[in-house]
Amino acid sequence: MRNNIDQIKLDDRVILITGAGDGIGRAVALDCAKRGATVILLGKTIHKLEKVYDEIIAAGGPQPAIYPMDLAGATADNYNELHDNIEKEFGKLDALLNNAGWLGASTPMEIFDTELWYRIMQVNLNAPFLLTKACLPLIKKSSHGSIVFTADPKTSAYWGAYGVAKSGQQTLMTILADELESKHIMVNAFDPGPVRTSFRTRAYPAEDPTNLTKPEAVSGGFVYLISGDCSGITGKTFTLEDFK
C-alpha cells in the first residue's frame, strides 16, 4: 500500500485538520498541501498555526486557512459559526481529521479532579462530536467525503478521562460509519502507535524520544484515509502496519 499512498493526489480537496499546529496534525497538513489540498488549520495557538501556514506557502502549496479555536471552551454556536465560514469560503468540505487531543493528567479515578475530568472530556470527546455534527452538511456535498479520527487506545491504570474519552471516540467512529455508509461518507480511525510528539513527551517524560516514529512517517496513513482512494472502506481502525 505504501506505493499507492505515494501516488495519491488531493487536488481540489478541502480538508479540515484539528490540532494542526504541531505533531501529527502539522505533518498531515503539510503532506496534504504538498499533494494539492486546501487545508484548514484548526488549533488554539495562533503562532503555531501561522508557522504551518508559512511552511505550506513556502513549499508552493495552495493557500491554507487558519481557524483559531480552543476546543476546551468552544460552544455549539462556535461550531455552527465554523460551518458557516467554511460554507461561505469553500462551499464544501471533503474531509475532516479529528486529531486534536489533550492528556490533562494521569491520575487514579478515585482522586480525579471533577472539573479537570469535564475539561478533558470536552476536548477529546465532546469536541469531535460537535465538530463532526457541524461539518456533516458540508461533507455531504463532497463526492468522496471522509471523516478520520486519531485513535489512541488507553485502557490501563491512570489514563483517566483521556482513556475514557478516546474509547468513546472509537465508538463514535463506528456508529458514524454505520449511519453514513449509505451516504458514501467513509469514517475510519488510525492508531499510529508511539510517535515523537510533545503530547507523547508529556505522557512519558522519561522516554527517549529518538526511538519513536516521527510524525512525517505516519502522515501517509492519514492521507490515504482522507483521500478518495479509501472509497468503500469504513468503520475500520488502521495501524501503521496496515500501510507498510
The residues assigned a catalytic role are 162
Separation between Cα atoms, residue 53 and residue 20, nearest integer Å: 10
- For residue 25, the 8-state DSSP code is H
Separation between Cα atoms, residue 132 and residue 180, nearest integer Å: 12
Q: ∠ at Cα 152 (146, 155), nearest 5°?
A: 135
Give residue for cell 486546501. 38
Q: Helix 114-121 and helix 160-180: axis angle, to 10°?
A: 30
> Where in 92-241 does DSSP place strands (E)?
95-98, 146-150, 186-191, 237-239
Residue 30 · residue 6 · CB < 8 Å: no
